[in-house]
Amino acid sequence: MGSSANDHPCPITFRYRLKRYILGSKQTLVSVQPNTLLVDDDNCMATGLSEFVTNSSRIKVSSSSRQRIAQDQTIHDPCLSAQLCTNLDVSSETNEEMGNIPVPDNEVDGFHYVLGYIVHKFHKTYPPLLCEHKSNGDWISVNDNGGLKRMAPFFIEQIEIAEQMFRKVHGDTLVEDGLGLEELTQITSNIIPEAPFEVVKFHMWCRLQIRLKEINSRGKIKNMRNKYKKMSKVVA
């Protein structure tokens, strides 16, 4: 996933990096309530929505992340708020579509390394996460400098669905105008209710941190290429 084997951060460093890279211009990614509640009067909101729907009944939702989750959803549906999100349910069709985005082969070891970090953090709070079976051939056995633990196979399958959900929403980048962290976690938890909410949320936080590092690395590589091109023109 773009991260070296020994580069999983401690909780303090992890939180600091997220605040440094996300907060401000990307606040919607980590906000608890990414949608604004205009007024408490439901009738007023319903009137505004009905007028808007009348003129735009066939317009698709503009957010690229929502289009990935529900291709057939139209603007009739009201904006999700934190209150609506708690009762949100995702159809079985969406759940089946998650299997279309598997973890690439060259990222499987990194994915299991993240799982090991999650179990290391939560195995005392949620003992079923821990797998007691020992293997000498997996990635954690070969290279572990952080006290990582193996995740139980059942929960590996659950977090794989969460990983697919993250990839479906954000693709190869980070979609800032889409689902906030809390909302994305809630939708994912509705799909995999057996996995603890806190564990799913922490996985999403880890993925945000890793994706930010990937994007930052891409930017550095791009700047180096542009600098090289400029130098080549000067020399030529």
User: Using N-to-C axis directions, what is the helix angle for 181-191 and 153-170, rounded to 10°?
Assistant: 130
Q: What is the pLDDT of residues 150-189, one digit of tens each?
A: 888 899 899 999 998 888 888 777 777 667 788 888 999 9
66: in domain: no
pLDDT value of position 57: 41
Q: What is the pLDDT of residues 6-51, one digit of tens each?
A: 566 666 666 666 666 655 555 555 555 555 444 444 455 445 545 5
Please, are residues 118 and 160 in contact by the beta-carbon 8 Å criterion?
no
76: in domain: no
Q: Whole-model pTM?
A: 0.52
DSSP one-letter code for 188: H
pLDDT value of position 13: 66
210: in domain: yes
* pLDDT category of residue 88 using cuts at 50, 70 and 90: very low
pLDDT value of position 196: 93
> What is the DSSP secondary-structure string of 9-54?
PPHHHHHHHHHHHTTTTTGGGT-S--S----S-HHHHHHHHHHHHH
DSSP one-letter code for 173: S
Task: Select from 42, 73, 80, 78 the least CA-distant residue to 58.
Answer: 73
102: in domain: yes
pLDDT value of position 202: 93
Q: What is the pLDDT of residues 97-136, one digit of tens each?
A: 444 667 777 778 888 888 888 988 998 899 998 887 766 6
204: in domain: yes
199: in domain: yes
44: in domain: no
Count how many domains the chain has: 1
Mean pLDDT (whole number) for 86-93: 45
Mean pLDDT (whole number) for 195-213: 90
Instruction: Name the residue range of residue 209's domain.
Output: 11-36+82-224
**Across-strand partners of 151?**
130
pLDDT value of position 203: 92
Q: Residue 227 pLDDT more than 60? A: yes
122: in domain: yes
